Chains A and B, each alone.
Chain A
Amino acid sequence: MPSYQEWNQAIAIHTISIASSGSVVFLNINEQELRRIGIARFRRHKARDWLEDFYTAIRQEVNKNNFVNIKHLYSVDSDSQIPNGVAFLAATVLAAYRMTDENDESGINYFKRLRDILDLQSEKGGRPLGMEGGQEEPLWLAWERWLNQQNFLCGARRKNSNYISYPISQAILRRIDQTSLYRFFKEKNAFFQTTLFDERSLLSTLKPFKDRVTKHLGELLNSQLTRDEDELGSALFQALEDWREGNTSGDNLTVQRLTAGLYRIEDWLSGEIQYSLHPRQRRGVNLENTDVLIDGQLFTLTIERNGWCYPVSNVDSSWLEEGFSFKTQGNQYIHAVVLPKRECWILIRDPEQTDSPDRASWGQPILGEPFILLAQQKHLADLERLKNEGYIQWQDNPREVLSDWLELKDCISLMQDWSEVIVNPKLVEALKPRMSLGLSLSGGLRVGGSWISEYGPKLTVHSFEQELELTIVQLNREDLKTANRINMVIESNKELDVSDWKEPGTYQIRVLSHGQSIERIIGIKAWNELVLTEEVACEALQIGNHQIQGSNWLEVNYDASKSSSK
């Protein structure tokens, strides 16, 4: 049976497994997630009830005669540097997930669930012994520190002095939220059974129905906080998958569908544009041996980076109209890859290789960031109206790149308030800026989510305001005390060289304007911290039946087992 330490490590790794650098990470744990972690991470152990195993490991670690002993978890693992309290925090999030009372200010409901999970035998309610006065908070701070060191932002937040707001903020969809969603899906059974969604299109579809679900979920759907959107979209999509597969009790592991976006490359010589399917990875779903069947041809899915596979197969415009579902083979936990139905696609630059000319539906553009808009021809009149009224702009003439689909290059959304616009609401939802602040980093020498010492990024903050407040703080590894603080007023919409980025470390960049803020975490690495990428060299010089890499002369269809590698 996996130990507490093994669970601790597995949950931490699982949680960041598909997160892109700089993104907000949520410790969004529920029963299905724990089962997924068990299957994906503990394959050497025999199949078992992973949930029960998790309970046993947690109880053995922290339940000392009905006293919650967590102070020893304030430390970090000496090898991996992962904080030792992650598995315990996951148990607290699981308790929040199971809460049935929407307004549990006192925490009675929450602590009852936590007592059950920790198997605390006590007649008293409220905070268990050992957790008085928020003694779990150092574990959350250690978790945040570790995430920051990995260049992620932590989604956990405390509201006022209420410590249970930490786990509640992580349980994006609680069980009662899921139940209300299942009810809503059932009401519109045919629509939700047949429409091909992805995470984002499902979120957009549900937003107008915020009054039909629980108060908590309604507030999330109504929220303007873009930092929660990806996690929320993913949780909603999972709920839809569970409902479609009849797994609403959460007792089994739902066989998944993956979603795909679009990946666009342009031949610099011929000018030819090619769109490919760009499958997304789902958290905790192992993609080993997954082949997707497209037009009678099998394509193997290969992870390209956290959250994304390499693009596969050219896109046929007929797939875009109503979306398309492609069957998969070889993996018992995945049965299809779905290209969703969308009115338009927004393609932005690669967030990790901003110089690359390739564009893909990596996510929403930040304010002020140009993007390529791929829209159905029928929307051209609406788009031109938006352009004439100054809501958006684009360069060059629209170009038909796929049958009935137009491409608009260098599009930018310009207006803050879109409430007066009378065009297709789905276009508005896709095009209106999510935030009134956008922070972009450019230049320097970048490796993944980090830059190299003395070759750090320049900053541009896009805003409707002219002046903004910028704070840059170097986060100390030992505690959250700060050093190297920069605090200045900056001009918006201008590339700025604000720091020499000499000292390696983790930096928090924060921009404030009229109560709105935007945050980024970046790492600065020393030259001697650079390590070889695991990436396999992919380019080669082709000479007849041979490929050359450096001095190595390889047969085509080269069998690695016969290589000259020692």
Chain B
Amino acid sequence: MTHPRVRPNKLQVDTGKPSQFQSNEELSVTAQIEYPRWFRGFRTVGNKKDMVQAIANTISRYQLQKWVASLRFEKQARGEFYFFIGFDRLDFGQVPEEIEDTLLQLPRFTNPIGNYYFDQLQTFVTGDLEIHRYGQRLRLPSLRMAALEDPFDQSDDIQNLVDDTHTERWDKLMLWLSALGKGSWETFQRGCQQLQIASKPRQVLRTLRLLGHIETSSDGTKWSINPVTLEGNIEKGYLLLGRRSDKVLNILAQHGEIIIQSMENSPSRVHWRPIDPSSTLQISNLVYTDAINTWVKHLPSIKEWQGYLEVLPDMDLSRFEARIYDGQNFISVTRVEDSGLYQFFMLNVQTKFPRATLYYDQSRKSLYRADWYGLRFLTLYTRQVLHPVKYDSKKQQLAVILDQRFPEFYERLLVLSSGKLPKSQNDWLIYSDISPSLMEIITKKLHLKVEHKNHE
């Protein structure tokens, strides 16, 4: 090895750029700011399902996942239609050879119509299909926006297609979080990135909260994993929530029947039925719960829930640009006056992402912090525009309109009932294993009307 003869006496640090000690996440945020997702549109005809399959196969074969992030279709497209491919980490309109020579050579890509940012398209296109992630296991539900159709009609056709390697990554995330115990939001983000779980770590965090594995601080900056919890009862068996490790799974296997089920976009669902219900498991801080019975006794109404929300202390609103939710989009406003859901953007900071999304209650002149869906639900409730939910008593399924998702606290109860996330279909979210009594209490507390499925 040769060393340079000159011995520089000053450390070389580039003042204008993020230092190497900034976390990857900080760098990726910078990257998002520099390269916001953009879309290239194409006009085509034919079978969408085959087309999606071909795109997904190409992305997978040529490993284009790092750039190709999304696929969107023209709303209610029939016959000839438009579709839009979303790109990340690329300058607007600039596509590398790796994409030009592969994906863009597919027959569907012969009629480009232009490049767009999302805000130019958002009223025109369907929801986001994260094609890079689902590429290997595509079995698409209908892409047609069949709003408010009967949600149960095709539910039997939906197959829970699970990519085992993907589930394995979620399970690794759970093992890692269990070993850490607690941490910051930044640590959690880093873990999701390292395990390549999802492009949106906040969604991962929300999923783990819904499934009862994790809790976060009210400002979202800290998380801690819950104690090992067996949720359920002797009759139906128990779901394993919270911390898990190989040792915990082995102990459960030694003392009963354990079923580990791979799930879509979540960790494996672990169901356990003890051989001898009176035996004591050697697991520290083990907790048994029967959430359905306990929660139902305490479940607050939506108004009570609002009363429990964290009220933010005086916030200097002059530092932010405010945008109010009009039911579909966020519209810029000069003053925060009307009750409703607001996004707050830091002034003089170039970003597409709000610093906070909060609910403003005009009567109390207060800003509330809670989960995003919860605050949106509160807004829709206040404006009395909530649609009825639908219930199929035979299948014990509850369907909620996707855009009127319940506050996370209520949704968690629905998810804990089965240990499964809802399935998304035709703009509905469908929750399984929902007993009539649970459906009644939850809809009553949320002041929701129920339309029952007629089986005759």
Contacts and interface: CB of A to CB of B under 8 A. Distances in A.
Interface of A: 267-271, 349, 353-358, 367-370, 390, 393, 395, 410, 412-417, 440, 442-445, 447, 452, 455, 460, 462-467, 469, 489, 493-495, 513-514, 527-528, 530-544, 546, 548-553, 563-566
B13 A550 contact: no
B308 A412 contact: no
Given A530-B179, A538-B224, A553-B295, 16 more contacts: A269-B355, A355-B184, A367-B11, A393-B15, A415-B10, A466-B4, A489-B1, A528-B246, A530-B246, A532-B179, A537-B242, A539-B215, A542-B218, A544-B304, A549-B229, A566-B288
Nearest to A414: B11
What range describes how many residues of B lie at the interface?
A: 35 or more
Contact of B289 (A368, A513, A552): A552
A447 B11 contact: no
A462 B222 CA distance: 31
Interface of B: 1-4, 7-13, 15, 19-21, 23-25, 172, 175-176, 178-184, 186-187, 189-191, 194-195, 212-219, 221-229, 231, 241-243, 245-248, 280-281, 284-289, 291, 294-295, 298, 300, 304-305, 308, 310, 312-313, 315-316, 319, 355-356, 409, 416
Given A417-B9, A464-B7, A550-B289, A443 B226 contact: no
Contacts of B184: 353, 355-358
B20 A531 contact: no
B225 A553 contact: no
18 contacts: A356-B186, A358-B184, A368-B13, A370-B21, A390-B10, A415-B9, A445-B191, A463-B11, A467-B2, A467-B4, A527-B246, A533-B180, A537-B182, A544-B304, A550-B242, A553-B295, A563-B287, A564-B287
Given A270-B316, A355-B184, A533-B179, A540 B215 contact: yes
Contacts of B228: 532
A99 B214 CA distance: 56
Contacts of A410: 19
Nearest to B247: A531
Nearest to B19: A370
Given A537-B226, A550-B213, A268 B178 contact: no
Given A532-B178, A566-B280, A549 B226 contact: yes
B288 to A, nearest CB: 5
Nearest to B216: A539
Given A532-B245, A539-B216, A464 B11 contact: yes
B231 A550 contact: yes
B300 A543 contact: yes
A350 B158 CA distance: 47
Contacts of B246: 527-528, 530
Given A531-B179, A551-B416, A467 B288 contact: no
Contacts of B194: 443-445, 455
A528 B175 CA distance: 9
A355 B308 contact: no
Contacts of A543: 298, 300, 305, 308, 409
B212 A538 contact: no
A538 B191 contact: no
B1 A445 contact: no
Nearest to A514: B3
Which 4 residue pairs of A and B lie closest in terms of their CB atoms, listed nearest first? Answer: A535-B181, A533-B181, A550-B212, A355-B186
B215 A549 contact: yes
A465 B3 contact: yes
A356 B180 CA distance: 13
A541 B215 contact: yes
B182 A551 contact: no
A344 B229 CA distance: 47
B8 A452 contact: no
Nearest to A489: B1
Contacts of B416: 551
A564 B231 CA distance: 11
A552 B172 contact: no
Nearest to B176: A445
Contacts of B2: 467
A552 B287 contact: yes
Nearest to A564: B288
A368 B179 contact: no
Contact of B175 (A370, A469, A530): A530
A493 B11 contact: yes
Given A355-B190, A532-B245, A551 B7 contact: no
Name, among A414, A466, A541, A544, the residue most crowded by chain B CB atoms within 10 Å (CB to CB): A541
Contacts of A494: 20
B179 A467 contact: no
B127 to A, nearest CB: 28
Contacts of A354: 23
